Structure 1
Amino acid sequence: MNKHLNSLCLTCPLLILPVCPATLARAQLPETSETNAKQTNLLKDELFFCLTKPGGETISESEGQEFVKAVISPRFREGLTVLDGSGQFLSNSGILITEKSKRVILIYESSPEKNQAIHEIIETYKRTFLPESVLRATSEVKVSF
């Protein structure tokens, strides 16, 4: 008898739960209001710069800040974001490299001039610090202010 009573006690909640949908949590996307802010479609580029020079020397904070000030800021006066990072990649010689990095985020209206500016930033960084590569990730984003 006790065995059947225990089974009934365990089964009852399973039968009741579907009847009470208010107890279920539902994930929802945040609502965007057209009245609060106008959305605009722009491009977002994320540039990943490694901070290790060939031979193992690290690019200093002041060298990085000077590069942003002299090379990136004049081309993206509208604004940018610089974040510190730590990443890893497989080198051309097949060795897993871990190192500190900087990520620069640029959000802008698409134009041939801005695309050229990003190419110039990457090429200048490569000539200056001799990294194996600079990663560029581009995506379309909706923004509002």
Structure 2
Amino acid sequence: MKNKHLNSLWLAGLLLFVPICPGTIARAQISETSDTNASPKTFLKDELYFGLTKPGGETISESEWQEFVKEVITPRFREGLTILDGSGQFLNQGGILIRENSKIVILIYESSQEKNRAIQEIIENYKRRFQQESVLRTTSPVKVSF
């Protein structure tokens, strides 16, 4: 049953974002006087979807979320990250449509075992801290230039 829930969550995330995000390319603007190398590099982009509803119906507060970011995510990705507010839905194990607010964390980084391990630690910490069944993770290669 747990896999059915995860598959539903994954599919919901995929259906929400694939049609609007084909061929993702992230680019930061540089000034013409910059002497940095502007040739694109291939990095990985992870999107982590954190549901904000605890078992029993309570919601993870903004202060709880900010504390989690400060203590768990930021130390592992000091070079930067983006956090978006989201609102999603999925079918639970009983086939009931569940709607909940979420936080989406976007991480862009050079591929390494260390970064992959850091993301797994973030996910496991969140699940333990807030009694969550899962955190949706999507990973894709992106071309970036600075």
Q: C-alpha distance in 1, partners of 2:116/2:95?
A: 31
Could you tell me the percent identity over the aligned residues? 75
Residues 1-145 of structure 1: pairs in structure 2 closer than 5 A: 37-145=38-146
Separation in 2, partners of 1:71, 1:81 = 15
Separation of aligned partners in 1, 2:104 and 2:90: 15
CA displacement, residues 58-101 of structure 1 (integer Å, 9 cap, x when unaligned): 00001001101100000001100000000001112322110100
Q: Determine helix, strand or coil for the equivalent of 1:72.
A: helix
Separation in structure 2 between the aligned mates of residue 126 and residue 61 of structure 1, nearest angstrom:
17
TM-score when normalising by structure 1? 0.74
Q: Which of the pair has more CA radius of gyration?
A: 1
Please give the root-mean-square deviation of Cα atoms over the aligned residues, in Å. 1.6
Residue type of the alignment partner of 1:66: E
Deviation above 3 Å: which 4+ runs of structure 1?
A: none
Structure 2 length-normalised TM: 0.73
Q: Which piece of structure 1 moves more, 116-125 or 87-96?
A: 87-96
Unaligned runs of 5+ in 2: 1-26
Question: What amino acid does structure 2 have at the position aligned with 1:139?
Answer: S
- Kindly tell me the number of residue pairs found equivalent between the two proteins: 112
